[in-house]
Structure 1
Amino acid sequence: MDEKTNITPATLYIVATPIGNLQDISARALAVLAQVDGVAAEDTRHTRKLLDFFGIKQSLVSLHDYNEQARSVELVKRLANGESLALVSDAGTPLISDPGYRLVSEVRKAGFAVSPVPGACALVAALSASGLPSDRFAFEGFLPAKSSGRKQKLEAIAADTRTLIFYESCHRIESSLQDMQQALGDRQVVLGREITKRFETFLEGSFSELLVRLAEDSDQKRGEFVVLVRGADEDITKLVSLDAEKVLKLLLPELPPKKAVKIAAELTGEAKNVLYQMALDMKDQ
């Protein structure tokens, strides 16, 4: 290790950058970005603005969803030549709903070191300020763009008792909340918007209450969102009627779980998310 710079040759540094407020970047992150031999960035134009703000002159190469496989080969070769490199995303911690997984995997396979430089992460920041249970949580990233895909995904996790965390864009926030309400029930939800930025807001209430807030104030539909949803009750499946349980037992040997749950819900009036969890439990048994 070079004692002067604290940078190790042939090492890939995973560097977290601010999610909004530039003052959130760490001193170590700035030192690494200034001293490595090159930086791989999701959007080089965005990262160039960040580096220019802090007076850092550094060479950049793009690494995004469409070129990651090919770029990983190139970057591994540079590490083999003894260079040190850094990976950043546009905001927050790389690989969290951002590119980088393939690169890190290839670097490790090649036998080179990967070193995290921790910092801002939108999901952790939102969870810490949400007031929802934080001892157990499930991060689901971005839901599918189409409503049908969102509902299918949500129904599959509806019985999860952990706090559920999602990312969402301004274009789909309203429709996503509507789908969540339909699939999960009218649960407690916290909506974190523009976290660490000038117009940061946290809205709390049921899905129905927040949908009213968004309808009344169009400004609350702008920006980037973290959606945090209280997990299902621990004893959710205990509320299922004996008739619904019998129907599921008859249908599951003959049909896929999703189809069996749909028919059982129509016949018994039970909630699909409750029946789906019961179906999964029966399959496991």
Structure 2
Amino acid sequence: MINQISFKEQKPTLYIVSTPIGNLKDITYRAIEILSSVDYILAEDTRVTDKLLKHYFINKKLISYHEHNKFEKEELILKLLSENNHIALVSDAGTPMISDPGYEITQTVMQNEYPVVAIPGASALLTALITSNIAPMPFIFIGFLPRKQSDQKTFLEKYKSYQEALIIYESPKRIEKTLQVIYEVYGNRKISLARELTKKFETITNGYIEDILKTELNLLGEYVLIIEGNQIEVDYNEITIEAHVLLYIKQGYTEKEALKLVAKDRNVKKSDIYQAYKIK
């Protein structure tokens, strides 16, 4: 039995609802309650969402909302909220906005002073990470790489020195070529390939890139790649303070944060690093 939530005294809200990534049972009670209670559901693919709703005997008005119409639908969504309607946003699978549409509309809704509430649930990247046999923290989620191999190499080079595990999504059509590019840029690192997560033919392959390149991969189902971070110890005495600071800045740290980290790495006072860096 599905419980309905009463929204009578609540300001019209946009709910960001996580849906199953494969097995339809991987959905929370709260997500079912919200989907059963809202007035409209924004769906990346209405056909996919319709199957999920029918499975849980939910009958709601679906509105197509995807990458190619997300801006033209903003006016309609704001109009519905102004008319006191509650709306849920779902993607085909997993959590919206994670390599799926949703970011722009949440910004617009917030700017118009309507609440945005997240309903957490399944996530392909976390599901793959915890079975990867690679240290799960810290990690960096990248999403899909650029299509061109030359752009992929340039992009991957930025993360080459990072010690964090890298998480990438990839199409089965491009997985073999992408693995080759990763090998060319990073060498023979540990990697995990996960496909068809939570489904009948779920497959998780853990090992080293060189070995996996020799195997025959199943070219069905989107892949989640977990790449081990750079494990090569850096002798900081062999690089300049400037290069050391820039190493951290390239990883996304501010200059102030980088100076503090360099001082810690070299076991000296931050003021000494600051002075040396500014004199350079």
User: Hey, what's the Cα distance between the residues in 2 that align with 1:6 and 1:182?
Assistant: 56
Report 1:79-94 matches (<5 A): 79-94=81-96
Alignment pair present for 1:51 and 2:49:
no
- Write the distance in 1 (CA, Å) between the matches of 2:94 and 2:49: 12
Within the alignment, does 1:100 sit opposite 2:98 as a pair? no
Q: Specify the code of the residue in structure 2 equivalent to 1:160.
A: Y
In structure 1, the partner of 2:135 is 133
Per the TM alignment, residue 240 of structure 1 is displaced from its structure 2 partner at its CA by 10
Instruction: Indicate the residue corresponding to 2:121 in structure 1.
Output: 119
Deviations 1:95-150 (A, max 9, x none): 00000000000010000101111100100111122121122100000001111111
1:151-204 C-alpha deviation (Å, 9 max, x unpaired): 111011111110100001100000000000111111000111111011111111
The answer for the alignment partner of 1:261 in structure 2 is none
SS in structure 2 of the partner of residue 67 of structure 1: coil
TM-score (norm 2): 0.81
Q: Cα distance 1:278–1:183, how it changes in 2: closer, same or farther (>3 A)?
A: farther
**Structure 2 residue ranges without an equivalent (≥5):** 256-276
Distance in 2 between residues matched to 1:81 and 1:64, nearest whole Å: 23
The corresponding residue for 2:266 is none
Name the Cα RMSD after superposition.
Answer: 2.5
The answer on 1:76 being equivalent to 2:78 is yes
Report the Cα distance in structure 2 between the residues aligned to 1:104 and 1:278, rounded to whole angstroms. 32
Aligned length, in residue pairs: 247
TM-score normalised by L of structure 1: 0.80
Task: Please say which of residues 152-161 and 85-94 is displaced more in the overlay.
Answer: 152-161
Taking every aligned residue pair, what percent have the same amino acid on both sides?
A: 39
Q: Which amino acid is the alignment partner of residue 76 of structure 2?
A: E
Equivalent residue in structure 2 for 1:109, among 93, 97, 111: 111
Where has structure 1 moved over 2 Å in runs of 4 or more? 6-9, 233-236, 238-242, 276-281
Summarize deviations over 1:13-62 as a string: whole Å, max 9, x none. 10000000001011111111111010001111111111112211110111
* 2: CA distance, partners of 1:209 / 1:79: 53
Residues 278, 53 of structure 1: CA spacing in aligned structure 2 closer, same or farther, 3 A cutoff? closer
Task: Tell me the equivalent position of 2:262.
Answer: none
Describe the SS at the equivalent of 1:175.
Answer: helix
| Matching of residues 253-264 of structure 1 within 5 Å | none
In structure 2, C-alpha distance between the alignment counterparts of 1:36 and 1:280, rounded to whole Å: 44
Partner of 2:195: 193
- Other-structure match for 2:205: 203
**Change in CA separation of 1:277 and 1:38 when aligned onto 2, cut-off 3 Å:** same
2:179 aligned with 1:177: yes
Question: 5+ unaligned residues in a row in structure 1: which ranges?
Answer: 250-275
SS of match in other structure, 2:117: strand
> What is the DSSP-based 3-state SS (H/G/I as helix, E as strand, rest coil) of the residue aligned with 1:111?
coil
